[in-house]
Structure formats: C-alpha cells, structure tokens
Structure 1
Amino acid sequence: MKKSVVLIEDDKKTREQITEILELSNFIVFVAENEKNGVVLAKTIIPNLIICSVSKAKLNHLEVFEMIKQSSHLQDVPFLFLTTKHNLNNKDLINLIQVETNQYLLKPFSKAQLLEAVESRLKKSINTQLLNKTKSSIENYWKSRNTSILIEKFLKNKTIYRYKKDATIYCQGNLSHHIFYIKKGEVKTYKVNELGKEFITGYFKKNECFGYSSFIIHEPHFENSKAISNVQLYKISKKELVELIANYPTLLYEIINLLAHDLIHLKEQLLRLAYGSVRRKTAATLLQLANEFNKKGDGEINMSKINLAHSIGIEYETLIRTLHDFKEEKLITENEKGLKLISEKKLLKVL
C-alpha cells in the first residue's frame, strides 16, 4: 500500500523536485505552498509523514508542528524538517529536532539523501507506535487491576452514600477527609467567581474517583461538587488509602496518572479560555466530552446546555448561537437525550 506524504514547501522549484522524487518512489504526495494550508491539509489527509521546509514565513515551523500535534489523529505522524546550515543556529529548531523529531535534512540534498531520510522517519515512527501501544496495554492492565483491587478490597462491605440530583456533596473550603468513588450516577466539580458565574472543572461518572487532589495535599477543597443525577458513592478515608497503597504499591501509578490527567485537562481549559475563539472552545469541549464522558462511543453527549456552557466558560446565549451554527453546518444534531456529534473529523477542523 502506498504511503502518503504532506509536503509543505514555499519554493516552487524545490516543491516540484521533491514531489517528483517521492512519486517515482511510490509515495502519494499532497503539496501545500505555505504553512497555513499545510496544517489544513495534514488534518484532512492524516498522512504517514509530514515534510516541512523551515522558512521565514509568517507562520513558522514551530507553530506548524504545535498546531498539527494538537490533533489526536496526528500525534504519531512523524516530521521531517528541511533546513539550511544558517537555520541550525536557531535554538528553538535544534531543541525541536532533538526532542520531538530527531531528524532534519540540510538543503541542498540529493535524491538518495531525501529517500534515506524519509525511510528513516517512517521506520522510527513505526517503532514509536509499537512502543506506545505496548505502554498503553501496560497502563490499561494496571488500571483495570488496581480498580478491581479497590472495589474488592474496600468497597464491597462499605457504606453507600446516596445523593439526589442537584445535591451538594462538598463545598469549596470544606476540609478534605475522603476520596469519593462513584458506584452509580454522575458528578460535576465547579468553581464560582465573585460575580456568581459558575465554571465547571470536571465531570465524573460510574467507577471514577473525585476529590483526590485536595485530599492528597492535605488542603481544604478548592472547588465545589454536586450530583448531576441521582448518585451512589463510597467514601475512602486516608487511613484506608494508606493501607491500600502499603499492600499494593502499584496503586500509586494510577493516582499519579489521575493527577497528571487533571493537570493536562486544566491547562487545556486555561489555554482555550485565554486564546480560543468561541467556536474553537465549543468544538474542543464537545470532542473532549464525547471522548471521555460517553461509554458507547457513539458521539452522544447527555448534558444540559447550562452545564455545557459552564464547562466551556461562555454565556448560555452564546452557546445556543454556536450550537445553532454547528447544526446548520451539519457538525452536530440534537434529540431529546441531548447532543450528538455527526462528524468528529469536521469538528477537528474547527480547532
């Protein structure tokens, strides 16, 4: 099967030469004359390799790399940078090459040098994907094992606490004495600013924990939590958790993984709030909720619009207008249960 390449090169002669070499070597080549078009093309094609020429254009190579890697579909796609000796004085480029790609090709180059560099990047990408797949399998193994230990060891004979829909579970400033584990239902965590505006910081469902950040650092809760459906949950005390970790040290891996995931999620939220347009913030949140909060993987999001607006960090009226536009563009649809994504690929293009 032919492998596809997206070539981002602003020089017409160089672009045509590279295209000819690759096509004669059985590659399918998609060309872009500038970085902006290259980003759009890469997100549309999802190629096996991206070749990017380092230029002095308005959108530079670092921005191209970061924008493309933001897409989950392109995170494993390798890059090959085409540059000159002069650009090797650029510290940002050197760091990017060493840490992220470990591969560049100096201009001018021969046909053999180009093909060797392309094959090297593709081979390394395959090895990286195999490594990531193995790592993911290990992570899933430990996660399932530790969750079953948690349920079997501590939850079987523990008291079940019940909260009705919209009931408060804890408030900001309350002392943190437990980690909460959801047996049934859904919970949100949120903060309220001085103007009374709510901003949702997290959603949690069956077989998930919440309230662990404040619990671990021995601080009062820095956010509020509320049941968004009828909820049944367990409370795990500090003494019980210490005993569990002492008996099963690998549980620490899962706790660290939860904290790291929360940190990444909050950083993404802050970046969207600071720099993202309303359309981008809405699209990103819809994709995230469909991925993390939907069990069936059918793109359905069963959430009230007011909670969705609070999660995105925009006004309710603004959300309604944006969702209307998305429906007109056939990105989403709506039924009595809630919203449903029609095309994740099209939504990704909004980002």
Structure 2
Amino acid sequence: MIPENLLLEYGATLENIDVSEVIISEKKRADFYFQIKTGEVKMFNLNENGKEFVQGIFYDGESFGEPPLFADFKYPASASAVKATELFKLSKSKLFELLTNNPEINLKFTKAFAKRLYYKATILKEISVHPPEHRILALIDFLKNRYGSEELFQVELTRQQIADLTGQRVETVIRAIKQLEQDGEIKLIKHKVFR
C-alpha cells in the first residue's frame, strides 16, 4: 500500500512476528500503523465461549488495523500472525505526517478503506441472510476479484479459515463445499478449491 522506502524514510521499523503472535489486542489504544512485508495476518474477535470470528486476512503489501488511528477509538478486534511475518510498524504521528506530505498515498489509502468497507458490508449481508453455499461463493468471488484473474482461481484458505470468515462451523463448510462441487459451482483438485 505505502511504498517501503517511504515507510522507512518516515521512521518505520521492520519487525519479525512469530506464528500466532498477537500484534494488536482488542480494546487497546491504537498507536501504530502496520503493513505486511511478507507473511499473513488475521484480524479476529473471540466470543465468551472462545469461538473465533475472523474479520479479515491480510497478505504481503497490505495494511491492517488502521480505522482506530483515524477515528480515535480502541481496536475493535485483535490481530495475530497466521504464519511467520515481517511487518513495518510506523507511529501514528509519523503516518499522519507521511499522508499529509504525500496526497497521492492519502488517496490510495482512502480507496483501500472504501474497498474494505464494501467487503465488510457484503460479507455481513451474506452471513446474516444467506445459506452456507451462497456465503462461501460470495467469499470466493470476492477473493477472486481481488487476487485472481479470469482463469481458474485457487482459494488459498483452509476449510477452517473459510468457516471463520463466513461465520460457520467447519463441518458445515465441508458439506457446503461438497454440494457446490456437485452443483458445478466450484472444482476440487487435490482437495483444493478452485472457481
């Protein structure tokens, strides 16, 4: 999102995060901007029974957890590394300085926020009113539009991650994926989902 050289110019540090290490905690104050160099990070909430709901998964070059920096509220979710991750960490004040001095980056930021809001609104609608198969297809189609091409797209998520992102049990996702394959909506090749 923000060029790495610009992040470093404004004082960002590059940090190594271990698998499952918590990067931000729900209800804590937001003081830093985070951008992934390499790796994978999930933002999630836990309910009172310890069940995890994944808000989003972020990959190389993507940032996460920014809204509280701009609205001055605490983190609404936690974030942890899904796999070993290198990320840039920049203070809130330096981020604002960077955005003020680089309007083209500020515009990219605004566009990225708009895309995330669209995703959240779409997934929320899917989770609340549609059957499991529809929820899964909506998620896959969103990912294909964002990361894929016109050709056959491989879903890089595990069944558990699909369940977490669509608010379902993993058993439900497994049954729904089998049904989607029978209906010709997806292909399963060596246990991987393609669309």
Fold match by TM threshold 0.5: yes
2:8 aligns with 155
- Picking from 328, 332, 335, the partner of 2:186 is 332
What is the TM-score normalised by the length of structure 2? Answer: 0.88
Query: Kindly tell me: are residues 295 and 162 of structure 1, through their superposed partners in 2, closer, same or farther at Cα, counting changes over 3 Å?
Result: farther
1:254 aligns with 108
Q: Do 1:180 and 1:236's aligned partners in 2 also have CA atoms closer than 8 Å?
A: yes
1:283 aligns with 137
Query: Kindly tell me: are residues 277 and 222 of structure 1, through their superposed partners in 2, closer, same or farther at Cα, counting changes over 3 Å?
Result: same
Query: Kindly tell me: are residues 296 and 277 of structure 1, through their superposed partners in 2, closer, same or farther at Cα, counting changes over 3 Å?
Result: closer
* Counterparts of residues 69-80 of structure 1 (less than 5 Å): none
- Can you list the C-alpha shifts for 1:208-255, whole angstroms capped at 9, x where unaligned? 111101111122111011211211000111121122123212332122
How far did residue 195 of structure 1 move? Answer: 3.0
- Picking from 221, 231, 237, the partner of 2:85 is 231
How far did residue 294 of structure 1 move? Answer: 4.6
- 1:201 equivalent to 2:72? Answer no
Query: Kindly tell me: are residues 221 and 258 of structure 1, through their superposed partners in 2, closer, same or farther at Cα, counting changes over 3 Å?
Result: same
Query: Kindly tell me: are residues 336 and 296 of structure 1, through their superposed partners in 2, closer, same or farther at Cα, counting changes over 3 Å?
Result: farther
Take 1:213 and 1:281, find their aligned partners in 2: how far apart are those partners?
Answer: 25
The number of residues matched between the two structures is: 194
Q: Do 1:172 and 1:222's aligned partners in 2 also have CA atoms closer than 8 Å?
A: yes
* AA at the equivalent of 1:153: L
* Counterparts of residues 266-281 of structure 1 (less than 5 Å): 266-281=120-135
1:313 aligns with 167
Q: Do 2:12 and 2:91's aligned partners in 1 also have CA atoms closer than 8 Å?
A: no
How far did residue 310 of structure 1 move? Answer: 0.8
Take 2:74 and 2:153, find their aligned partners in 1: how far apart are those partners?
Answer: 36
The percent of aligned pairs where both chains have the same amino acid is 23
What is the TM-score normalised by the length of structure 1? Answer: 0.51
How far did residue 165 of structure 1 move? Answer: 2.1
1:242 aligns with 96
The residue matched to 1:222 in structure 2 has which SS?
coil
- 1:166 equivalent to 2:7? Answer no
- Can you list the C-alpha shifts for 1:165-206, whole angstroms capped at 9, x where unaligned? 222211111221111011001111112223332221112111
Query: Kindly tell me: are residues 296 and 188 of structure 1, through their superposed partners in 2, closer, same or farther at Cα, counting changes over 3 Å?
Result: farther
Q: Do 2:12 and 2:90's aligned partners in 1 also have CA atoms closer than 8 Å?
A: no
- Unmatched 5+ stretches in structure 1: 1-142, 342-351
RMSD of aligned alpha carbons: 2.2
Take 2:112 and 2:71, find their aligned partners in 1: how far apart are those partners?
Answer: 14
Q: More relative contact order in 1 or in 2 (CA 8 Å, sep 6+)?
A: 2
Take 1:296 and 1:154, find their aligned partners in 2: how far apart are those partners?
Answer: 33
Query: Kindly tell me: are residues 336 and 215 of structure 1, through their superposed partners in 2, closer, same or farther at Cα, counting changes over 3 Å?
Result: farther
- Picking from 171, 176, 180, the partner of 2:34 is 180
Higher normalized helix content (fraction of residues): 1
Take 1:306 and 1:265, find their aligned partners in 2: how far apart are those partners?
Answer: 20
Take 1:298 and 1:219, find their aligned partners in 2: how far apart are those partners?
Answer: 41
Take 2:191 and 2:148, find their aligned partners in 1: how far apart are those partners?
Answer: 13
Query: Kindly tell me: are residues 295 and 155 of structure 1, through their superposed partners in 2, closer, same or farther at Cα, counting changes over 3 Å?
Result: farther
1:137 aligns with none
- Unmatched 5+ stretches in structure 2: none
* Counterparts of residues 1-351 of structure 1 (less than 5 Å): 147-148=2-3, 151-155=4-8, 158-294=12-148, 298-335=152-189, 338-341=192-195
Take 1:263 and 1:295, find their aligned partners in 2: how far apart are those partners?
Answer: 22
Take 2:191 and 2:17, find their aligned partners in 1: how far apart are those partners?
Answer: 22
Q: Do 2:13 and 2:90's aligned partners in 1 also have CA atoms closer than 8 Å?
A: no
Take 1:163 and 1:238, find their aligned partners in 2: how far apart are those partners?
Answer: 20
How far did residue 259 of structure 1 move? Answer: 2.0
How far did residue 283 of structure 1 move? Answer: 0.9
* AA at the equivalent of 1:227: A
Higher normalized strand content (fraction of residues): 2
